[in-house]
Amino acid sequence: MGIKPNSENNSSTGGDIRIKSGREGLMGWLNPTRYGWERVSYWLQRLTGVGLLIYFIGHIYETSSLVNGINAWNSMLELTQTTGGHIFLLLVIGASTFHTVNGLRLIFTESGIGIGRPGRPDYPYDATSLNYKQKSGIWVALLLATIAMLYGGMVMFGDVN
Amino acid sequence: MWIRMSEETKKIKLKVYRTNYNKEESPHYDEFDVSVKRWTTVLDALLDAKSYSDSSLGIRYSCRMASCGSCGMKINGRPRLACYTKISELNDQTIVCDPLPNFPRIRDLVTDFTEFFAHHKKIEPYIQNERVPIDVVKNDDLVEFKQTPEDVDKYLQFSYCIKCGLCYSACPTVATDTKFPGPQALSQAYRYTADNRDTGEPSRFNIIDERHGIWRCHFAGSCSSVCPKGVDPALGIQLLKGHLIGITKNDKKIATLRSKEE
């Protein structure tokens, strides 16, 4: 009698015992609030990264309209002058600021800098790597993204030039 | 002085994930009303339900003291050890128990660890030391390596791993990449890298430095936040990345042997 792991999401026979994959897949990412700030940062870094990639492709499409003449270029620019266009640009400002600042934090932490040193763990076993020094990088990234979005909003919707 | 312990009992609802793929049983939750006291653990409550309500309830457990790592499960949305989680600390009238995510499910709360242990074995989790003379190994002359307490502190916390699988089930990369070794195996790779009795770095680095290897970790920190033993796998993995890219200095001096005569 034996069991055999199955990576598919359907139940199957592995030896004598039927088992089913319990892998969370992308569904596991839907709620980033279960494991602390680092998981939220991981989720936002992915989300803003994918968002900025989509923006980058759209930006190339937008600027390439210049080859069709000045009218095509102007009509493309008009899209960004609407309320929806302004909100979209605000999201781009927020996403790029957060992604850059949090990315700098990740360059350091993923190189082993600012995450502490190994030692003898004592109850209640607070993890050294989840320290406030590196965690504050997430808060700074969120704060700067908010400030950048507020300033962008004032420029686009208000009187600031 | 005696401290009077509260004998107050209260009723909670235990919602347990049930399924049996051998009987084509579709997954559902069974509810049990259990009387608990301040110090009742989730494992105690599950065993109460198994003893007095439904003996077919599938649970795996052994030591009841967070040493064996058998009773890992998802409790109220987070991977935890059932024996190490008091119901009173959850502050909830309903306790929901699910099998550990990212592990194949066998029955009810019991999951299969075959793949998890295979990842652990793959990173060669044992001391390798090419400087030990062959005749010493053959004749069983080896007594011990010389290590200072400071040398031990560099890897000790990682050797506290009980292989409960909580870190593996919390990891978002494991959730989407079946070939990723996971935080447990990678932190053990660091454990042996930091151990000055070991010279197996080149071999181990070859195993983890690949497409589905260590670089898939992006420091979500979930592994360290759920670890019940303070292993802090995220710390080991980031330090290991530092070693691989040459930023963190590896100043380890390989331990010398103490002979029988010394």
Residue B261: its pLDDT value, please?
67
**Percent of residues, chain B, with pLDDT higher than 70:** 94
Structural class in CATH, domain A33-115+125-157: mainly alpha
Distance from C-alpha of B5 to C-alpha of A150, rounded to nearest angstrom: 55
- Distances in Å between the Cα of B20 and the Cα atoms of A31, A120, A156, B23, B82 are 28, 42, 59, 6, 21
- Domains in chain B and their CATH numbers? 10-111 (3.10.20.30), 114-258 (1.10.1060.10)
Q: Hey, which residues 18-57 in chain B have their CB within 8 Å of chain A?
A: 19, 21-22
Chain B residue whose CA is closest to A23: B102
Are A125 and B178 a contacting pair at CB < 8 A?
no
Are B175 and A25 a contacting pair at CB < 8 A?
yes
pLDDT tens for each residue of A6-63? 444 444 444 567 788 888 888 888 788 889 999 999 999 999 999 999 999 999 998 9
**Percent of residues, chain A, with pLDDT higher than 90:** 61
Which residues is B72 bridged to in the sheet? B81
From the CB of residue B90, how many other CB atoms can be counted at a distance below 10 Å?
17
Mean pLDDT of A136-152: 98
Distance from C-alpha of B152 to C-alpha of B256, rounded to nearest angstrom: 14
Residue A21: its pLDDT value, please?
86
Chain B residues within an 8 Å CB radius of A112: 238-243, 247-248
Q: Which residue positions in chain B have pLDDT lower than 70?
A: 1-6, 137, 140-142, 260-262
Residues contacting A161, CB < 8 A, separation 6+: A155
From the CB of residue B258, how many other CB atoms can be counted at a distance below 10 Å?
13
Q: What is the 3-state secondary structure (H, E, C) of B94-158?
A: EEEEECCCCCCEEECCEECCHHHHHHHHHCCCCCCCCCCCHHHHHCCCCCEECCCHHHHHCCHHH
Assembly ipTM? 0.89
